[in-house]
Amino acid sequence: MIAFNYETNFNLKNETTTEKWILEAVEEEGFEVGEINYIFCNDEYLHKINVEFLQHDTLTDIISFDYTLGKLIGGDIFISIERVKDNAIDFNVSFEEELHRVLIHGILHYMGYKDKTDEEKQLMRAKENYYLKSVNL
């Protein structure tokens, strides 16, 4: 089950289509969805989580807490809509594209993809781009 929660003045345009897209990506990677909660918030909300739980005093676009067990993925994915908007401008892409990139990025982490080294970042970006081709923006 995928749930979309809102702690800011934002709503996904089409939750059903987005959920279907995520489920298809998870299935293609050989995993299944347990319970995934997306929490859309603002910078202040996510910054507080970043400081409290990760001891990082910085702004970020996404924080995910991974509860995956084997091939059953689950967790809480917090996304700052303010950061996504700013990053879309910085990367010269639409808000929708950047939002979907972040949505799938969190899921890819749950399926074992990392982004600490240059090689890991390259593979993560390739996977993001692959799945972005199949989403209706």
Beta-carbon count within 10 A of 115 CB = 16
- Amino acid identity for residue 62 in this structure: I
56 in a labelled binding site: no
Q: Is 57 annotated as a binding residue?
A: no
Hey, what are 44's tokens? 């202040």
Axis-axis angle for helices 95-110, 15-28 (nearest 10): 40
47 has binding-site annotation = no
**Cβ-Cβ contacts under 8 Å for 36 (sequence gap 6 or more):** 1, 2, 3, 22, 73, 74, 75, 76, 77, 107, 110
- The answer to whether the CB of 79 falls within 8 A of the CB of 38 is yes
Sequence letter at residue 109: H
Which segments are annotated as binding site for Zn(2+)? 105, 109, 115
Annotated binding site: 105, 109, 115
